[in-house]
Structure 1
């Protein structure tokens, strides 16, 4: 044993004795292969078994098959498109009826010069174009500021600070635009753009309202101002210029009623309700009158500009109409939101 352990690679002769006799397990290369058993060989499939297995596999695939074919889309409310069309038609009829009614009531005495001269028409069209452009700048700037989070920071600020800075920025840019010479285009339009952006920064919290309410308020404002502007443009010359003094007194009362919630205590419910009604409906009447007055004032300035008495400045004229539009629009939004809350 010790010898074997000393030579680990030596193999004893008895170890080869078990391999001396050939075994049937070891197969020579020239011998034939033994017959294999049928245990590991698949059974031959008949035609019946083939058909059954095919049907089973097909049924299995169909059972786990996921269908991606969706049914054709059908609107949940088939009358939704009809209701939208009906609302648009009713809105257009309302605007057209308002224009016709105001024309019949307030514009019985038309111009005696046979219509608007070309210079006045061009002056008025350019003023309306700048008004629409200014309102578009305000809407775009308000949307951009709202998405940047300006509305939240503005509402978290002290209201007196917001009012003070807002009025200072508005009056500063507005009077800067007024006193800039029309020939100085860069400074004129820069201050005018700054005025529009200032208005957008103040009105940004309106973006919290529903887009449907904002769209309806814009449509009603355009209809109201369009009908009143049509009356002012086709009425007799300088017919409504006398409204300047009474409208100035009315806007002072409306402004004081607007500051009432900042001064009066919350317990004065009835007084606050009266001041809110004055601010809403009185403001609509006052700024509707200002629209009529401003249109006739624009035509008066057009005639003076044609004679060489004043310089042509449609940017200054558009600011007045922009302020009328914004004040009417804000009140329309508040009235529509109050009606929606009452329906709930």
Structure 2
């Protein structure tokens, strides 16, 4: 269309200059003059009123629509981490590690160490059941679902304070055998977590089922790596993981104001999803070996009693964050098809 308009303007300009005797004037011009004119510099013609193109500012680039490969970096990082994890699983699984692993040390464990680890994973399984039941109950209750689905900055910080506060209360109570105040606080915390993630059920049962299966496979593979690796291999990751947690948390908060329809928002969403998936996978390795270390050293090397509920809550939060991100990634992949 622009070429046709330019051609029309050019023809009208030539007609106005040449006038009615245009044919005679054209015949009068020599071929040499035409060749010389064609060899000369070509000047671009601009339409009257058209603004010249200018380079985009940084703000315009960040707020522009995201490209088709906005999530490619996150997907590549997740794929690379999966390859590294499979290599580590094969390496430690066939016993190529020279140091003692948790699997080797487990043959020398006294019975109380085994009981502590069994009780920890028992609380972990119960936490998953309570969370799933709470999410299903809230999803089936319209008033509670509307409350859990409410957006806005105030509700976001209120729910965040409720989750962090209930977890802190549950961790602060001293553990005692038998059902007591700590168990009540632990159940309340898991129920609150289920209510907060209840809107995730809008994704649909088939996707959530597949996400749960994939999460189980990832958790099983990472737990096997933690058990087969040297018993202190991942205990030095606490500092880097804490820094990564701050970055992912800041990205998740910033994505509230910057939707993924912009380039910057898509980058933040990719950091929150794929970066969080890698981060909590590393946390699972770290928390698994820390659980075993705490079960082994009390009471010989430490005065702090072993708390299976606190140990299970760390692993539970890692697994829950992995599940949420896998479900979100799968839901986004379905919507883009």
**TM-score, length of structure 2 as denominator length:** 0.68
1:324 equivalent in alignment to 2:318: yes
Correspondence for 1:172: 165
Question: Is structure 2 residue 238 aligned with structure 1 residue 244?
Answer: yes
Distance in 1, matches of 2:260 and 2:165, equals: 36
Give yes or no for contact 1:301–1:310 (8 Å, CA) kept in 2: no
Name the structure 2 match of 1:333: 327
Q: 1:177 to 1:213 in 2, by over 3 A?
A: same
The 1:301–1:271 alpha-carbon spacing in structure 2 relative to 1, beyond 3 Å, is same
Listed one character per residue, the Cα deviations across residues 11-37 of structure 1 (whole Å, up to 9, x for unaligned) are xxxxxxxxxxxxxxxxxxxxxxxxxxx
Q: Which residue of 2 aligns with 1:103?
A: 89
Q: 2: CA distance between counterparts of 1:125 and 1:168?
A: 31
Q: Identify which range, 119-128 or 319-328, moves more after superposition.
A: 119-128
How many residue pairs are counted as aligned between the two chains? 245
Aligned residues of 2:260 and 2:266 also touching (Cα < 8 A): no
Within 1, Cα distance between the matches of 2:251 and 2:260? 16
Deviation at 1:331, TM superposition (A): 0.5
Check whether the contact 1:291–1:324 (CA below 8 A) recurs between aligned residues.
yes
User: Is the contact made by 1:115 and 1:234 (CA closer than 8 Å) also made in structure 2?
Assistant: no
Shift of 1:175: 1.3
Relative to structure 1, the CA distance from residue 186 to residue 209 in structure 2 (aligned partners, 3 Å threshold; closer, same or farther) is same
Q: 1:246 to 1:267 in 2, by over 3 A?
A: closer
Whole-angstrom CA distance in 2 between matches of 1:321 and 1:295: 7
Q: Distance in 1 between matches of 2:322 and 2:128?
A: 13
Give the structure 2 partner of residue 231 of structure 1: 225
Q: Report which structure shows greater RCO (CA 8 Å, sep ≥6).
A: 2
Choose which of 148, 152, 169 in structure 2 pairs with 1:154.
Answer: 148
Partner of 2:269: 276
What is the CA–CA distance in structure 1 between the aligned matches of 2:114 and 2:223, rounded to whole Å? 13
Aligned to 2:62: none
Q: Distance in 1 between matches of 2:250 and 2:85?
A: 31
Q: Give 1:213 shift.
A: 0.4
Cα 1:302–1:280 change in 2 (3 A) is same
2:303 equivalent in structure 1: 309
Distance in 1, matches of 2:86 and 2:299, equals 31
In structure 1, which of residues 139, 154, 158 is the aligned counterpart of residue 132 of structure 2?
A: 139
Look up the match of 2:205. Answer: 211
Q: Is the 8 A contact 2:92 2:228 kept in 1?
A: no
**Which residue in the other structure is 1:54 paired with?**
none
Contact (CA 8 Å) 1:229, 1:292: kept in 2 or not? yes
Unaligned runs of 5+ in 1: 1-96
Q: TM-score, normalised by structure 1?
A: 0.66
Displacement of 1:124 after TM fit? 2.1
Kindly indicate whether residue 216 of structure 2 is the aligned counterpart of residue 222 of structure 1.
yes
Q: CA deviation at 1:162?
A: 2.3
Q: CA RMSD in A?
A: 2.3
- Please state if 1:115 is matched with 2:105: yes
Cα drift, residue 197 of structure 1: 0.9
Distance 2:260 2:208 in 1: 31
The C-alpha deviation readout for 1:221-240, integer Å capped at 9, x for no partner, is 11111111111123222221
Partner of residue 190 from structure 2, selected from 181, 188, 196: 196
- 1:212-254 CA-partner distances (Å, limit 9, x unpaired): 1000101111111111111112322222111010011111111
* Cα-to-partner distance string for 1:80-134 (whole Å, 9 max, x where unaligned): xxxxxxxxxxxxxxxxx99864422466425268431244433222211111110
